[in-house]
Amino acid sequence: MEPILLTPGPEAAGQRLDAYAAEAVEGLTRSAAQRLLAQGQITVNGGAAAKNYKLTGGETIAVTLPQPEPTEAAPQNIPLDVVYEDEDVIVVNKPVGMVVHPAPGHPDGTLVNALLYHCGESLSGIGGEIRPGIVHRIDRDTSGLIIAAKNDAAHLALAAQLEDHSLCRTYEAVAMGRFREDRGTVDAPIARHSTDRKRMAVVPGGKRAVTHWEVVARYPGCTHIRCHLETGRTHQIRVHMAYIGHPLYGDTVYGAKRAAADMTGQCLHASALTFVHPRTGETMTLTCPLPEEFQRLLEKLRRMGAQ
């Protein structure tokens, strides 16, 4: 596996290398970073480093992660809010806090574990043992609609719709600040952040990313917006809104310095999903209500007064 290259800035001076690596590399714990350091899999300026090495800032750090060992996900009896289901597809309203598939730090309790219990063996195998049936993903702290395929033919059809944008996803969000225009489009390429592996960023030469947005309502200090994804990059709406100066309410990765007291994670909800049914050819549009936290926030903003 290619090493992950990190270049800490001057603000990292004095920080322990293992702590910095754990913070900068997604899914890496501090204990795992310490093991990699002891094994020589974390180097500084091309050479080995002491286990208690402290950064000076400006070094070139290379982190070589071990090849992941695929592990079959196990069925778990986790309640699901099923919005639609037939022999080909299942659409679920995913709650905030649920990870879509097993990953480092989240070996179970995921949507995949719940789907395996609910659907038995009737999930597409295209995603492999870790991601059976999974066609697309949404962030852990983003709620809303996600579709999974129950056979390989349905999976291939839905994946093709993702590719040609006929599978349409609509999101509701509360963003910081006041939008001057009523609608707009952000067309800006996205790639992994150059120094913070847990974040994405608008990067020249990154993958094309397009988000269409429109204002639903304006409030003091915040705007309720609706977003339509033309592409589906990791953290796309969060990155694009921060890029235009309107990070999402409660988003501590791309905007807020501290978590919102009245919101778990960022205020973002996948409210509608339109797709062509892989067997019948019928165009289907499914919706789900805003989660309670989102509704309470909007009510509080309404009491403050629309603008």
Q: Which of 18, 139, 141, 251 is catalytic?
A: 139
Q: Which residues in 112-135 are b (16+ Cβ under 10 Å) and which e?
A: bbbbbebbeebbbebbeebbbbbb
Is 139 known to be catalytic? yes
Three-state DSSP string of 175-231: EECCCCCCEEEEECCEEECCCCCCCEEECCCCECCEEEEEEEEEECCEEEEEEEECC
> Within a 10 A sphere around the Cβ of 183, how many other Cβ atoms?
11
Q: State the alpha helices, DSSP H only, in the chain.
A: 17-24, 30-38, 111-119, 152-164, 236-243, 292-304
Residues 6 or more apart whose Cβ sits within 8 Å of residue 93: 81, 82, 83, 143, 144, 145, 288
- Angle between the 17-24 and 30-38 helix axes, to the nearest 10 degrees? 120
Q: Which residues are catalytic?
A: 139
